[in-house]
């Protein structure tokens, strides 16, 4: 009997958090199978009513980067064409309006690190080893790593990471503003889920607008974000969550609203 290969990534709903678990053995290498599975999980999660997402690995490592077969094919053809477009995948992933939390453990390098950088929050296990190692095979990051590192940690650190190709401990990258929080290894899953649950119980539409405004500010500058803000926020003012939040503020004081995600 022909056996079906296990899915490269699976979705599980926990309350209103869509938990995407990568299981593309042996090391969650990013190629067509895993990127397509991740995007499919994003779509399924939204269809299932998720209000936040948690991206994690069910294997020993978060991700060891791009699939060498994909890179080898591009190198042998002597072109820059990849069978899987890193920028197209990145654009679709970052376009998701839901907040995305990455829980990083083990090795997280190359494209795996770039995938984490595309999330909205990064929590990392204390023992995680993280870096941009593409230079070891003669290339540099293909999925926006250099520019995202430069934006968050400065050009000096971005060039260091991509030119030297070293792996760094999580605490160093927390100091460099490349990850949000470092936690003990045995607390990673619970800590990441706690953040995801907090986001999932917040005003979902407002979170999506926050993501849009942050992206505009980073890519186009503060003036562009200011100019876009009023139009982007129009649906927020008409949302049920604003009515709930305002009513709760007047009745119970700040911070006690129970949002419904509408």
Helix (H, G, I), strand (E, B) or coil at 194: helix
Q: 99: closest CA among 212, 241, 243?
A: 212
**What is the Rg, in whole angstroms, of the alpha carbon atoms belonging to the chain?**
19
Q: How far apart are the first and last CA of the chain?
A: 47
Q: 102: alpha, beta or left, given left = phi > 0 and alpha = psi -120 to 50?
A: beta
Beta-ladder partners of 53: 18, 100
Segment holding 162, helix H or strand E: helix 155-164
Residue 258 and residue 37: Cα distance in Å, rounded?
A: 33
Helix (H, G, I), strand (E, B) or coil at 101: strand
Helices 240-252 and 204-220, axial angle in degrees (round to 10): 110
Residue 103 and residue 121: Cα distance in Å, rounded?
A: 9
Beta-ladder partners of 21: 10, 56
**Residues that are catalytic:** 114, 134
Helix (H, G, I), strand (E, B) or coil at 184: coil
């Amino acid at each position: 009997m022909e056996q079906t290969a296990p899915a490269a990534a699976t979705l599980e709903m926990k309350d209103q958090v869509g938990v995407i678990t990568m299981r593309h053995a042996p090391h969650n290498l990013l190629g067509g199978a895993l990127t397509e599975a991740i995007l499919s999980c994003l779509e399924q999660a939204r269809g299932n009513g998720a209000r936040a997402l948690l991206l994690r690995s069910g294997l020993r490592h978060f991700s060891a980067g791009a699939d060498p077969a994909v890179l080898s094919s591009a190198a042998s053809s002597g072109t820059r064409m990849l069978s899987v477009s890193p920028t197209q995948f990145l654009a679709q992933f970052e376009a998701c309006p839901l907040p995305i939390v990455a829980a990083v453990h083990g090795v997280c390098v190359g494209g795996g690190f770039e995938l984490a950088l595309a999330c909205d929050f990064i929590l990392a296990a204390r023992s995680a080893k993280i870096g941009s190692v593409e230079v070891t095979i003669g290339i540099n990051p293909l999925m926006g790593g250099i520019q995202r590192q430069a934006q968050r940690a400065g050009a000096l650190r971005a060039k260091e990471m991509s030119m030297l190709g070293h792996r760094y401990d999580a605490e160093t990258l927390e100091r460099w503003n490349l990850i949000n929080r470092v936690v003990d290894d045995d607390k990673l899953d619970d800590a990441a889920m706690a953040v995801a649950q907090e986001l999932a119980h917040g005003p979902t539409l407002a979170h999506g607008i926050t993501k849009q405004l942050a992206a505009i500010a980073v890519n186009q500058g503060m003036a562009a974000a200011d100019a876009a803000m009023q139009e982007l926020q129009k649906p927020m003012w008409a949302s049920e969550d604003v009515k709930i939040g305002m009513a709760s503020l007047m009745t119970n004081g700040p911070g006690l609203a129970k949002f419904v995600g509408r």
